Amino acid sequence: MTTTTTATGTDEVVLEASRVTLRFGGLTSLSEVSLRMRRGEVLAVIGPNGAGKTSLFNSLTGFYHPQEGRVTLRDESGATHELIGRKPHSVNRLGVARTFQNIRLFGALTALENVKVAAETRERSGPLGIALGLPHTRRADRASGERAEQLLEFVGLAARRYERAGSLSYGDQRRLEIARALATGPRVLLLDEPAAGTNPTEKLELTALIRRINRELGVGVLLIEHDMRLVMSVADRVAVLNFGRVIAEGTPAEIQRDPAVVEAYLGAEAAQPDPEEVER
Amino acid sequence: MSAVIEQRTERPAKAVSAVVVAGLRRERWYRQPRLRRLGALLAAGLLLAVMTGEQGNGKDLLYSLRGTLASGRLWVCLGLGVVAWVLAETGAPLRAAAVRLLAPVTAPIARGGELAVRRRGVRVTAALVGLALAVFVPLALSRATNQVLVDWVGIYILLALGLNVVIGWAGLLDLGFVAFFAIGGYSAAFWTGHLPVKPPFELNPFLVIPVAMATCLIAGVLLGGPTLRLRGDYLAIVTLGFHEIIYLVAKNSDGLTNGSLGVFGIPHFSVGLGPVQYRWKLDPLDYWWLLLGLIVLAVLVLRRLEHSKVGRTWAAIREDEVAAAAHGVDTVKYKLMAFAIGASTSGAAGVVYASKVGFINPENFPLLYSVLVLAYVIFGGMGSIPGVLLGAGLLAWLPHALKDVVDQKDRFMYMGALLVVMMIYRPQGLLPARRRRRGEPTPARSSVQTGDAQ
Ligand SMILES: Nc1ncnc2c1ncn2[C@@H]1O[C@H](COP(=O)(O)OP(=O)(O)OP(=O)(O)O)[C@@H](O)[C@H]1O
Ligand SMILES: [Mg+2]
């Protein structure tokens, strides 16, 4: 595991979205969203259900194609790449990795294989070399296997490496998704509600893990999370999304005091019918 | 249904509704599991009576059934059903005793099986023993039997190995697989100079194999390129169309393929390298060994692929295409690769077939064969090479094994029944693959284009 610190340091802007607008027919799920994230920071995106957080992730990773705006990624050499219009796999190859809100592991593969598949997308070996058993394909295979083992160790799943991903506990599956995303060697990691469905102990471990990903691996983290305690303890900056717009941005302390944010959350809560009301 | 009724009955007086609900909840007498089992066994008895009875009559559809109902055999068969039921219902203590008695025998076998799966040495030994049997046993068999071994078993095992890459590993439903078999066959005809269109130079069938494989590879890429973006079920229809196109071209373009007359005189394989001179002739044994060689080669190559980056990536795409793409997998490229590898295996089988039989026509490549190969793969265990070898071997052999046992016309009906029973009780196949979830024979669930990445 190497800690890469480039000459530009951790303050460089790695990912920038400017005035991104995404529409589905008449529904505007993102309107003029602008975000800047630096390599050395954990940026959290919060907002009520349906605010457009996942849509933002999908727009950043090539799954959705926003009608307007730009998303640029700065690579190691300092060159910038436009991400909108690229296919998901090519966005990932530029250095953006993600996890999914509804866990999407390769259920029938083992934990190790899940991570290895992701690590191997960077190997050059092709079917012919493999069929002939060329030495460089064997080396590549061993290298990605070792890398996968290290990453499982890093997220604390080394003991579960030969278990089928589909049979792991919820918390372990979330961590495996993170290890798999890290295996592609990203500059930016997008985590979509990594704490959803995990217990308090696992939440604490996750907080520590996110910090280590940011500090030790030097990977910028963009985090969607509903658990405010986790967000406030791990995020350097927070952006608040409501109805597809960024309504506030700042440090966790600033965000907690922001009247617009309080309003958005209270408004969302007031709009939601009281569950007991429905029963009666 | 009953939930709706229950809700509605909640409104009137509580006492009445409680009675009604209780009534609805109570099982109908004929729904009792015991009686249902009796019913099933009686039905099986009736089926047995019909099956062992007189052959049906095409003009009078109920002829066989009527004959059965009038015969005494019916009562014997129904009686057997009842006896089986009584044994099943009351035999639990008996069965337990039998299991206990047999435990010393069965337990080591089960444990041995488990060991075999785990230990590499055991697996290799089993493979070598199987290979030795495959090489030497046909020496003791009749010529007619060997004919079947080549024309059906050998060819279909090769086809099934190819299709397994496409459906078992990459999870792509390809219903037009035999089109590539046809392309292989016609390649053999073309490159040996037996089509109306002549090749620039003629080739020995051995050399046609790589050429035909390359042709099928290209055909696979040409077909797959624009269509592999489609989701499983749409892809199946496209491949169906592809088969139809190839079939109709072979049948109708007289100037190219000689139309429905077919092609005659495709030469046998031969080797002529200095001192090594050999000609394959009509003897099926020669061809059996040739096929065996090709099968071994295919298995060695495919096994390597399965346990490599390529095999893992196919499995990832099959499991979750969206997640695979999000981790840098060029899904279209890998699907194309699977398609092309499957197609070229099929093409090689086509060359051997054409050269062995010596004449081909479009009717050698009906859609049914694609479906058969698919059935063999699923029967053996999608994604598992030993499973596919066993499944294709057994099923391709079955109709001929039944030839002397049941009526000629009924042979494929028994195979159909076997498939139905198999899919109900063991959908994962004879020797299921480790990398597949139990009983989930579905092709790729979603595509990057349509699935939203939540
Ligand atoms: N593929 C799609 N087609 C149509 N509408 C979509 C699509 N994806 C998202 N939307 C809409 O965009 C809006 C934002 O959805 P999104 O999933 O981004 O919300 P979210 O902030 O992630 O919510 P949650 O906290 O529930 O995950 C919603 O109104 C949703 O219905
Ligand atoms: Mg979401």
Sign of CA dihedral B13, B15, B19, B24: positive
pLDDT for position B106: 76
Query: What CATH number labels A1-95+186-272?
Result: 3.40.50.300
Nearest atom in ligand 1 to A48's CA? 25
Domain coordinates of chain A in residue numbers? 1-95+186-272, 105-185
- Inter-helix orientation angle B2-9/B14-25, to 10°: 160
CB count within 10 Å of CB B262 equals: 16
B/e letters for B283-301, b = 16+ CB within 10 Å, e = fewer, are ebbbbbbbbbebbeebbeb
Cβ atoms of A1 and A155 closer than 8 Å: no
pLDDT for position B150: 87
Instruction: Tell whether the model's pLDDT for residue B226 goes beyond 60.
Output: yes
Amino acid code (one letter) for B427: P
As a whole number of angstroms, the distance between CA B152 and CA B330 comes to 37
Least confident interval from B64-68, B343-347, B399-403, B424-428: B64-68
**C-alpha dihedral (B379, B382, B387, B389), degrees to nearest 10:** 90
- What tokens appear for B371 in the block? 């479906």
Measured between beta carbons, which residues in chain A are less than 8 angstroms from residue B320? 104-107
pLDDT for position B235: 87
Question: What ligand is nearest to the CA atom of residue A227?
Answer: 1
Gap between the terminal Cα atoms of chain B? 33
Cα–Cα distances in angstroms (integers) from residue A216 to residues A3, A41, A180, A208, A211, in the given order: 6, 12, 17, 11, 8
Average pLDDT score, chain B: 84
Instruction: Tell whether the model's pLDDT for residue B245 goes beyond 60.
Output: yes
Residue nearest to atom 24 of ligand 1 (CA): A49
The whole-number average pLDDT for the span B329-346 is 93
Comparing C-alpha atoms, which of B431, B423, B228, B448 is closest to residue B316? B448
User: In the structure, what pLDDT confidence band is assigned to residue B438 with cuts at 50, 70 and 90?
Assistant: very low
User: In the structure, what pLDDT confidence band is assigned to residue B452 with cuts at 50, 70 and 90?
Assistant: low
Contact partners, residue A211, CB within 8 Å, separation at least 6 = A42, A234
Q: Does A100 touch chain B (CB under 8 A)?
A: yes
Instruction: Tell whether the model's pLDDT for residue A37 goes beyond 60.
Output: yes
Tell me, using a 6 A CB cutoff, whether residue A66 lines ligand 1: no
C-alpha A224 – ligand 2 centre gap (Å): 8
Strand order in the sheet with A220-224: A96-98, A188-192, A220-224, A42-46, A237-242, A245-250
Measured between beta carbons, which residues in chain A are less than 8 angstroms from residue B323? 100, 104-106
Cβ atoms of B337 and B317 closer than 8 Å: no
The whole-number average pLDDT for the span A164-171 is 92
Residue with tokens 């910028």: A220
The whole-number average pLDDT for the span A266-279 is 48
Tens digits of residue pLDDT in A121-151: 988 888 888 888 889 999 999 999 999 999 9
CB count within 10 Å of CB A27 equals: 8
Amino acid code (one letter) for B437: R
DSSP H/E element including B10: none
Instruction: Tell whether the model's pLDDT for residue A207 goes beyond 70.
Output: yes
Beta strands in B196-308 (DSSP E): 270-273, 276-279
Instruction: Tell whether the model's pLDDT for residue B281 goes beyond 90.
Output: no
- What tokens appear for A184 in the block? 């592609």
Tens digits of residue pLDDT in A235-258: 999 999 999 999 999 999 898 888
Q: Does A81 touch chain B (CB under 8 A)?
A: no
Least confident interval from B83-97, B354-368, B419-433: B83-97
The whole-number average pLDDT for the span B247-267 is 88
Q: Does A121 touch chain B (CB under 8 A)?
A: yes
When comparing pLDDT for B57 and B116, which is higher? B57
Instruction: Tell whether the model's pLDDT for residue B92 goes beyond 90.
Output: no
Tens digits of residue pLDDT in B98-129: 888 888 777 777 777 666 666 777 788 888 99
Residue nearest to atom 6 of ligand 1 (CA): A24
* 3-state SS class at B171: coil
DSSP H helices, B26-91, are: 33-52, 63-70, 73-90
Cβ atoms of B238 and B230 closer than 8 Å: yes
* Helix, strand, coil in percent for chain B, rounding step 5: 70, 5, 25
ipTM value for the complex: 0.89
Q: What percent of chain A has pLDDT over 70?
A: 91
Beta strands in A25-157 (DSSP E): 27-38, 42-46, 68-74, 80-82, 96-98
Question: What ligand is nearest to the CA atom of residue A58?
Answer: 1
Based on the number of CB atoms within 10 Å of its own CB, is A31 exposed (0-12), middle (13-18) or buried (19 or more)? Answer: middle
Cβ atoms of B182 and B247 closer than 8 Å: yes
DSSP state at residue A50: T
pLDDT for position B93: 78
Query: Measured between CA atoms, how close is B329 to chain A, in angstroms?
Result: 6
pLDDT for position B300: 94
Distance of CA B354 to the CA centre of its chain: 22
B/e letters for B101-113, b = 16+ CB within 10 Å, e = fewer, are eeeeeeeeeeeee
Contact A89 B308 (CB under 8 A): no
pLDDT for position B203: 84
Strands A80-82, A245-250: pairing kind = unpaired
Residue nearest to atom 25 of ligand 1 (CA): A49
Cβ atoms of A240 and A46 closer than 8 Å: yes
The whole-number average pLDDT for the span A204-210 is 94
Question: What ligand is nearest to the CA atom of residue A100?
Answer: 2
Q: Where do the domains of chain B lie, and which CATH numbers do they carry?
A: 32-112 (no CATH), 143-409 (1.10.3470)
Least confident interval from A48-52, A272-276, B356-360, B441-445: B441-445
Tens digits of residue pLDDT in B3-49: 444 444 444 556 666 676 666 666 667 777 888 888 888 998 888 88
Residue with tokens 């005793």: B97
* 3-state SS class at A67: coil
Query: Measured between CA atoms, how close is B273 to chain A, in angstroms?
Result: 25
